[in-house]
Amino acid sequence: MPKGLYARSLIIIIAPMVLLQCVVTVVFMERHWQLVTQRLSKAVIQDVAAVTDLVQDRRGPQELDRIIDIARERLDLNVALLPPTPLPAPAPKPFFSILDGILSDEIKDQIGRPFWIDTVGNSRIVEIRIQLDDGVLRVFAPRNSAYASNTHIFLVWMVSTSLVLLIIAVLFLRNQIRPIQALAAAAEGFGRGQPMPSEFRPRGASEVRRASLAFIQMRDRIERQIEQRTQMLNGVSHDLRTVLTRFRLQLALLPEGEDQDELNSDIDEMQRMLEGYLAFAKGEAGEEVGELDLETLLQKFRSEAERKGKRLTTDIVGDPRITVRPDAFSRMITNLVANAMRHGERVKVSANHEGRWLTIAVEDDGPGIAADKREEVFKPFVRLDPARNIDSGGTGLGLAIARDIARAHGGDILLSDSKLGGLRALIRVPG
Ligand SMILES: Nc1ncnc2c1ncn2[C@@H]1O[C@H](COP(=O)(O)OP(=O)(O)OP(=O)(O)O)[C@@H](O)[C@H]1O
Ligand SMILES: [Mg+2]
């Protein structure tokens, strides 16, 4: 079965039509055509029988000529009386013709004499020979007077009207299905964070219109909620930052002491966490699409790795310039590289921008993640090393944010084992 709605609806229309036509054709052909042929054949053989009787009962050669003339003029039969020779051997029966059978039956019924018949030899004429007492009567009858031959007109009509019907159906269907396709495209685009095409408005049948309207309202509601959330978060973050700043100032005013450094680093930690939560909650879907140079980004990672004493190798196949939301996309790669650098000593980043998909693999030689935990770690605030102190790690949002961003670009992130021994995180987005 085809997958598309268009193809399916066409089949729903075409299948019954073809079925109907087949049934009608078979029944019509079988019944009507056979009946008409039977009647016509009967009439021809009645004429032949009359001529046979007349010839049999004639009283002289003049009368024979007269009969032959009348048969030719009035009955359209070409009659001749041959000398009394035995009839030829029966001609082979044609395979697919009902005419031969019907004519033979009629002759047996109405004339009841030995006969010979050829319906195949000459396509326009049927030849009949009948054994008389004193000769053989040979009759040529036009084939089409014994045979309903114009039935193909009926077929031509049927096929051509159904073609017209089909064309009309195709045109109408296409108009009905277009709004559904537009709705699907708009919903898909919204899922990927693209702005809705401006020409999108409810069109088509009432059900489709309702679905489109519902979709537009849903989108508005979601956008409103996101906006509210962002506003609230901005308020919260502003307030908390103010408090944090006040802490810092008060700390600076306190007399020098051991505790001061610890408190300061706690404040730093809180600030960092706060920024992380906010970034996650806000999302970065609002950003405009632009150009990002992977080469520059990877260069930044290389110098960072150098500072931390890690070994980072990079590799780009294809065009290093990609069209994405630059800030969000850099954040996603940064999160993955930060994870790799935290857990491993050797890190490898390989980008491929050749085919329809852009893939970026981040690999490390760390402990990796067990296969049954690979979905778990994408959840916000999930960290696999709970024993460790919170400030040795992050907040558990890195992968959640990264996956959000990948999905907002219409792609995803997959975790697997790396050849280096640790984890391999693969970003895959439409290129
Ligand atoms: N490359 C990796 N090797 C081994 N474990 C990893 C790796 N990357 C992530 N993990 C595990 O997955 C968990 C979740 O990672 P995630 O990036 O979401 O949070 P995080 O790194 O702990 O904090 P954040 O990224 O917010 O600073 C981590 O706590 C870690 O246990
Ligand atoms: Mg992380």
CB–CB of 336/348 below 8 Å?
Answer: no
User: Taking CA 36 as the corner, what is the angle to CA 120 and CA 124, rounded to the nearest 5 degrees?
Assistant: 25
Which pLDDT does position 389 carry in this prediction?
47
Tell me, what DSSP letter sits at residue 353? E
Task: Give residues with Cβ within 8 angstroms of 236, minimum separation 6.
Answer: none
3-state secondary structure of 313: strand
- Ligand 1 in contact with 418 (CB < 6 A)? no
| Length of the chain (residues) | 431
- Ligand 1 in contact with 384 (CB < 6 A)? yes
Atom of ligand 1 nearest to the CA of 364: 1
CA 369 to ligand 1 center in whole angstroms: 9
Segment 400-410 shows an average pLDDT of 89
Task: Give residues with Cβ within 8 angstroms of 143, minimum separation 6.
Answer: 99, 119, 123, 124, 125, 126, 149
- Ligand 1 in contact with 385 (CB < 6 A)? yes
CA 243 to ligand 1 center in whole angstroms: 29
Top-confidence residue, 86 or 154: 86
Measure the CA–CA gap between 406 and 261, rounded to whole angstroms: 38
Nearest ligand to the CA atom of 380: 1
3-state secondary structure of 317: strand
User: Taking CA 77 as the corner, what is the angle to CA 72 and CA 80, rounded to the nearest 5 degrees?
Assistant: 85
Task: Give residues with Cβ within 8 angstroms of 427, minimum separation 6.
Answer: 332, 333, 336, 358, 359, 360, 361, 362, 402, 406, 411, 413
Q: Where are the beta strands (DSSP E) in 88-236?
A: 115-118, 125-132, 135-142
Q: Is the pTM of this model over 0.85?
A: no
Q: Each residue of 260-274: pLDDT tens digit?
A: 888 888 888 888 878
CA 35 to ligand 1 center in whole angstroms: 86
Q: Each residue of 77-98: pLDDT tens digit?
A: 999 999 988 888 887 777 667 7
CA 241 to ligand 1 center in whole angstroms: 26
CA 424 to ligand 1 center in whole angstroms: 12
Nearest ligand to the CA atom of 382: 1
Q: Highest mean pLDDT: which of 64-73, 146-155, 250-259?
A: 64-73
- Ligand 1 in contact with 398 (CB < 6 A)? yes
- Ligand 1 in contact with 279 (CB < 6 A)? no
Residue 2 has pLDDT above 60, yes or no: yes
Residue minimizing CA distance to atom 20 of ligand 1: 396
CA 379 to ligand 2 center in whole angstroms: 12
CB–CB of 119/101 below 8 Å?
Answer: no
Measure the CA–CA gap between 193 and 173, rounded to whole angstroms: 30
Measure the CA–CA gap between 235 and 90, rounded to whole angstroms: 108
Tell me, what DSSP letter sits at residue 33? I
Closest by CA to 294, choosing from 223, 208, 358, is 358
- Ligand 1 in contact with 337 (CB < 6 A)? no
Q: Highest mean pLDDT: which of 156-170, 191-205, 241-255, 361-375?
A: 361-375
Which pLDDT does position 122 carry in this prediction?
66
Atom of ligand 1 nearest to the CA of 400: 18
Atom of ligand 1 nearest to the CA of 373: 12
| Number of C-beta neighbours around residue 332 at 10 A | 29
Residue 318 has phi, psi (to 5 degrees) of 90, -170
Q: Each residue of 333-382: pLDDT tens digit?
A: 999 999 999 999 999 999 999 988 999 999 999 999 999 999 999 998 88
Radius of gyration of the chain (CA): 46
Q: Token pair for residue 62?
A: 């003049």
- Confidence band for 387, pLDDT divided at 50, 70 and 90: low
Measure the CA–CA gap between 113 and 108, rounded to whole angstroms: 7
Q: Each residue of 185-238: pLDDT tens digit?
A: 888 888 766 777 777 888 889 999 999 999 999 999 998 998 888 888 888 888
Atom of ligand 1 nearest to the CA of 335: 25
Measure the CA–CA gap between 106 and 93, rounded to whole angstroms: 16
- Ligand 1 in contact with 422 (CB < 6 A)? yes
- Ligand 1 in contact with 179 (CB < 6 A)? no
Which pLDDT does position 258 carry in this prediction?
72
CA 260 to ligand 2 center in whole angstroms: 28
Which pLDDT does position 422 carry in this prediction?
94
Measure the CA–CA gap between 283 and 387, rounded to whole angstroms: 29
CA 338 to ligand 2 center in whole angstroms: 6
Nearest ligand to the CA atom of 280: 1
Closest by CA to 188, choosing from 203, 176, 200, is 200
Q: Token pair for residue 229?
A: 């959330």
Residue 360 has phi, psi (to 5 degrees) of -130, 120
Indicate the top mutation candidate among 365, 382, 395, 399 to test ligand 1's pocket, ranked by most ligand atoms within 8 A of CB: 399
Which pLDDT does position 330 carry in this prediction?
92
CB–CB of 411/424 below 8 Å?
Answer: no
Q: Highest mean pLDDT: which of 72-81, 199-208, 248-257?
A: 72-81
Closest by CA to 319, choosing from 199, 416, 431, is 431
Residue minimizing CA distance to atom 3 of ligand 1: 368
Residue minimizing CA distance to atom 25 of ligand 1: 398
Residue 151 has phi, psi (to 5 degrees) of -65, -20
3-state secondary structure of 60: coil
Residue minimizing CA distance to atom 31 of ligand 1: 384
Average of per-residue pLDDT values in the chain = 87
Residue minimizing CA distance to atom 27 of ligand 1: 394
CA 12 vs. chain centroid, Å, equals 16
